[in-house]
Amino acid sequence: MGLLSIIRKIKRKEKEMRILMVGLDNSGKTTIVLKINGEDTSVISPTLGFNIKTITYQKYMLNIWDVGGQKTIRSYWRNYFEQTDGLVWVVDSSDLRRLNDCKAELDNLLKEERLSGASLLILANKQDIKGALAPDEIAKVLNLEAMEKSRHWKIVGCSAYTGEGLLEGFDWLVQDVASRIYVLD
Amino acid sequence: MDEKKTASNAGETEALDDALQKKHLSMLERLSNRHQNRLDNALTRRSESESSSSPSFESTSSFFSRFSDSKRSIESQLAVSRTASSDPTQLKSHFEKISASISDLEKLVAENSYFLPSYDVRASLKTVSDLKQSLENLNSELIPKKKFSFRNKANKKESIAQEVKEPSPLNCSSVISDKTSFAVRESPGLRNRKGEVLMEDFRGKEVGEFTISDLDCCEVRIIGCLRALFVHRLKNCKVYVGPVLGSILIEEVEGCIFVMASHQIRIHTAKKSDFYLRVRSRPIIEDSSGVRFAPYHLTYEGIEEDLRGASLDEETENWANVDDFKWLRAIQSPNWSILPENERVRITNTSTLDNIE
């Protein structure tokens, strides 16, 4: 292996970002990942465990970890915290009853030290469903304004069903992570 | 004098006989007491060992001794059921007891499956299913099958509905008081009812998410398409719904029947309920027990178009591919099963209230 190829390899590694997708079950995490990747979203079973997708996005390589949200496996989320650059919290905006649970789980997650440096994107999913709460209403319920000042965060309304809002959200996330990590670029 | 003597003699022998008999009786009693004691002890010992060491005795021989013990006891229970009683209700409870011990046995196999050789697991499971089969045979032989019918129910329900109308506001307030702490608007739905037949016709309307919650002894019929459905806290209800384009989330239900079609179905904390499903992906259960699955069949005027519109016109057979998040092992979860065909409810039509049969 020549020196050049080693340098190239390091360089390529630098352009990688590790993105962790979490949220309650039924919020649409897997559907979002598949939609972004341009895959078929018509048959998706609830995630038993996790999926990893590597996606080239702009000039970056995103390693997206999509971890199942069922109650039983939420305790395993912390196994995926290490070295996370971007955190995506997905909310089912039509599930009004469980917004309490949603807030509690998010609060728990944000206490985690290993995630303290990660940029946080909140996707208020299922905006296409009539009766879903708008992103600003979700922000109020989750009390996002009260978050620590050091945290980079943004909430975006989206629909994994139509694809609306997904690119806006990921554009912000990737830019924000890049501006923190690859300052020299 | 002689006479007297003989008389007294006779009296003596009588008394002696009496005493002997008493002694004999008391001995028998003692014996039976001891026998009972021993039985009781054995029982408590067994239950102790069950509670203390249930999943952790990792030896094949101790597993087999327990397995064959309970197998024998189940077989003997099965054997006596022919002579036990002719009263169907007693027979039924007898059968229920047997069925409970069979499922305990199955659980035992499942819990120990991780250290047993695979042949033994298979053999044990075969034994369990044989036991189940013979129980079922006996059941169908000794208890005359009851016919399933919805007839007259509508009337009865209406009268129940009137009776219970009064306490229901109370219910309402208690539910409202434990509502979320944020002022979140309530989604459209059916809530806080008891003993009613509830019908919603959404044909030709655009409906987003819909909630069914806090119902007791109700029958719910939703005609037409929904985008998403939330089901929460239902007891002894029957729920028939048309196609759901997105997902269905079910939580805390007991003693219910659900007939539903959707792209995704998640079932949490369900007890003793039957699900007639059509799903594009694999349905899942979590923290549930005694749930059974069967294929979807529901009709109302226009259901074919609705199913096509929701891409649910095809039978995927996924209703039987249930994932149990509380049972991540290779062998069948004890928490769910396939509803035997002869126990499935026949549903003909939900368009009108009367022609369900």
pLDDT digits (tens, 9 = 90+) for B9-19: 555 556 667 77
> Closest Cα partner for B216 from B183, B251, B192, B199?
B192
Tell whether A5 is within 8 A of chain B (Cβ).
no
**What is the average per-residue pLDDT within B266-281?**
96
Residue B168 has pLDDT above 50, yes or no: no
Give, rounded to a whole angstrom, the gap between the first and last alpha carbons of chain A: 26
Residue B184 has pLDDT above 70, yes or no: no
Quick one: tokens of B107? 């659980």
Determine the residue among A24, A25, A98, A125 to mutate to test chain B binding: the one whose Cβ has the most chain B Cβ atoms within 10 Å. A25
**What is the average per-residue pLDDT within A58-76?**
92
Share of chain B above pLDDT 70, in %: 75
* pLDDT for the residue B226: 93
Q: Indicate the range of B32-36, B68-72, B98-102 predicted with least confidence.
A: B32-36
* pLDDT for the residue B26: 85
pLDDT in tens, A101-159: 999 999 999 999 999 989 999 999 999 999 899 999 999 999 999 988 889 999 999 99
Q: Left, alpha or beta for B253 (phi > 0: left; psi -120 to 50: alpha)?
A: beta
CA distance B261 to B275: 10
| Helix pair B118-142, B60-84: axis angle to 10 deg | 10
* pLDDT for the residue A125: 97
Tell whether A41 is within 8 A of chain B (Cβ).
no
Q: Indicate the range of B166-170, B231-235, B254-258 predicted with least confidence.
A: B166-170
* pLDDT for the residue B355: 43
Residue B33 has pLDDT above 90, yes or no: no
Q: Indicate the range of A11-15, A19-23, B134-138, B209-213 predicted with least confidence.
A: A11-15
Question: Collapsing DSSP states into helix, strand and coil, what is residue B319?
Answer: helix
* Mean confidence (pLDDT) of chain B: 80
Residue B165 has pLDDT above 90, yes or no: no
* pLDDT for the residue A166: 96
pLDDT in tens, A4-38: 776 666 655 668 899 999 999 999 999 999 999 99
Q: Hey, are the CB atoms on B208 and A131 less than 8 Å from each other?
A: yes
Residue B357 has pLDDT above 60, yes or no: no
Burial pattern B284-311, b for ≥16 Cβ within 10 A else e, equals bbbbbbbbbbbbbbbebebbeebbeebe
Query: Active-site residue numbers of A?
Result: 70
pLDDT-based confidence at residue B92 (cuts at 50, 70, 90): confident
Q: Hey, are the CB atoms on A72 and B325 less than 8 Å from each other?
A: yes
Residue B340, Cα to own-chain centre: how many angstroms?
Answer: 13
Tell whether A48 is within 8 A of chain B (Cβ).
yes
pLDDT-based confidence at residue B51 (cuts at 50, 70, 90): very low
> Closest Cα partner for B271 from B293, B289, B244, B250?
B289
* pLDDT for the residue B54: 46
H or E element, residue A165: none
Tell whether A70 is within 8 A of chain B (Cβ).
yes
B interface residues, A as partner, C-beta within 8 Å: 180-182, 184-188, 206-209, 211, 213, 227-228, 230, 232, 246-247, 249, 263-264, 266, 268, 280-282, 284, 286-287, 311, 323, 325-326, 328
**What is the average per-residue pLDDT within B260-279?**
96
pLDDT-based confidence at residue B163 (cuts at 50, 70, 90): very low
The residue extents of the domains of chain B are: 60-142, 170-343
* pLDDT for the residue B80: 83
Question: Collapsing DSSP states into helix, strand and coil, what is residue B105?
Answer: helix
Residue A82 has pLDDT above 60, yes or no: yes
**What is the average per-residue pLDDT within A62-83?**
92
Tell whether A177 is within 8 A of chain B (Cβ).
no
* Fold that domain B170-343 belongs to in CATH: Pectate Lyase C-like (2.160.20)
- Half-sphere exposure (CA, 13 Å, Cβ side) for A99? 26
A146, A147, A150, A154 alpha-carbon torsion, rounded to 10°: -110
**What is the average per-residue pLDDT within B245-256?**
95
Pick the CATH number of B60-142 from 3.40.50.300, 1.20.58.1250, 1.10.1060.10, 3.30.360.10: 1.20.58.1250
* pLDDT for the residue B11: 54
Residue B87, Cα to own-chain centre: how many angstroms?
Answer: 22
Query: What is the chain B residue with the closest CA to A159?
Result: B246
Q: How many CB pairs under 8 A join A and B?
A: 91
